[in-house]
Amino acid sequence: MRKKIVAGNWKMNMELAEGLKLAESVDTYFRLKPSRAEVVLCTPFIHLAGVAELLKDGKLCLGAQNCASEPSGAYTGEISPAMIKSTGAGYVIIGHSERRSYYHEDNDILNRKAKLALSNGLKVIFCVGEVLGERESGKHFEVVKNQVENGLFNLTAEEITNVVVAYEPVWAIGTGLTATPEQAQEIHQFIRGLFSEKYGKEIAENLTILYGGSCKPSNAAEIFSMPDVDGGLIGGAALKKDDFIAIVEAIR
């Protein structure tokens, strides 16, 4: 059975003290009431070391939201996968649509980041998803196929076992619009099919594929009930303890 995961992507929110407080309250809850899913907090870089300390010997996992494409050196302002790993984090989000669009990260650089993160022992949450115009013109399958193939398909089968794919339709991110459970299922199944063709059925069946985009306590259970939806990548609702916990608890 493949792993179910709910990851909170805090994006660029919360100063240090607020972030530590949120992490502590979520951590306390799941120490008492362990979840069926793996729960990952993807915090800003500055929170990582402090949150790692809080999460020690607990049930939650920790991740970053981006990493450098180079291992070390004169890259002012960048944070390498090795640095992330050294904080105690185990995951990194790569290819979020905000990185692709605002920072012009293309498949080539995202692929380099993914490889470097994996070679440093991090698990990668690799995001894909189409913009509204692409969906409206029926190009979403083609767009997602291109992102998956060019972002990931030169990885080895062994590396793929440490990759999680997050399907996040850009038109659903932060907009209050959500893909219907059927729309999510259709494209998740399509993504799993691509992995099956490339890496074989077993690897594809074990691949965790998350849905992201305006996930809330009110819609999470229905989306998570789809057979190829293995959890969620949560933005805004991950900043509210009760909402985030309710979404994690929607995993069956």
**Residues belonging to the active site:** 96, 168
| Identified binder of ligand 13P from the candidate list 37, 83, 194, 234, rule CB under 6 A | 234
Residue 236 in the binding site for ligand 13P (CB under 6 A): yes
**Location of structure tokens 């691509």:** 194
Residue among 128, 216, 190, 194 nearest 164 (CA): 128
Residue 183 in the binding site for ligand 13P (CB under 6 A): no
**What residue type is assigned to position 49 of the chain?**
A
Looking at beta carbons only, is 173 or 207 nearer to ligand 13P? 173
Looking at beta carbons only, is 194 or 237 nearer to ligand 13P? 237
Looking at beta carbons only, is 66 or 87 nearer to ligand 13P? 66
Looking at beta carbons only, is 11 or 115 nearer to ligand 13P? 11
Residue 212 in the binding site for ligand 13P (CB under 6 A): yes
- Binding string to ligand 13P for residues 74 to 113, with x set by CB under 6 A, is what? ----------------------x-----------------
| 3-state helix/strand/coil string of 86-141 | HHCCCEEEECCHHHHHHCCCCHHHHHHHHHHHHHCCCEEEEEECCCHHHHHCCCHH
Distance of CA 54 to the CA centre of its chain: 21
| Identified binder of ligand 13P from the candidate list 81, 95, 213, 231, rule CB under 6 A | 213
Residue 162 DSSP label: T
* Shortest Å distance, C-beta 9 to ligand 13P: 4
Sign, CA dihedral 131-236-113-156, equals negative
Q: Which helix (H) or strand (E) holds 232?
A: strand 231-234
Interacting residues toward ligand 13P by CB under 6 A: 9, 96, 168, 173-174, 212-215, 233-237
